[in-house]
Amino acid sequence: MGDLASCWDEIDKMLAVQFGEIQGSFGRNKIVLEHKYKNIKMMRELEAYVSRRALKFIYDELKRSKTFTFDKEDCGCVQKTSYGLHCVCIIAMKSNQKLPLVLDDIYTLIGKG
């Protein structure tokens, strides 16, 4: 309770604290890499550039790519269309060609929507 100016000041303080917490969380996401991703050559170039959640999505698709049959119906390209991340068909193709997953590919996917 109070006048508009005092309420605005309190809201501003709360938002500043939340912003600091979010920045700290992003910093930890960039610095701390989960052990399961450390030995995967395909994902090495993505370390410290994408969030841990994005790495998990890519890791799950990488596991799926081991049994992928290259039928578009099997993929659905959900990761690509929803998150702008590599989907199983792209990961399987790159794996067969022994190519790494690179950050530029992700930005290209996001730009194309």
DSSP-assigned letter for residue 48:
T
Q: How far apart are CA 42 and CA 82, in angstroms?
A: 22
Please write the tens of the pLDDT for every residue from 16-64: 999 888 777 666 655 555 667 667 777 877 777 777 788 888 888 888 8
Span 97-110, average pLDDT = 73
Mean pLDDT of the chain: 77
pLDDT value at residue 50 = 76
CA angle 58/87/48 to nearest 5° reads 30
pLDDT value at residue 33 = 57
Q: How far apart are CA 105 and CA 2, in angstroms?
A: 51
Give the distance from CA 10 to its chain's centroid: 33
User: What count of other Cβ atoms lies within 10 Å of the Cβ of residue 93?
Assistant: 14
What are the distances in angstroms from CA 69 to CA 44, 89, 92? 25, 9, 9
pLDDT value at residue 111 = 47
pLDDT value at residue 30 = 56
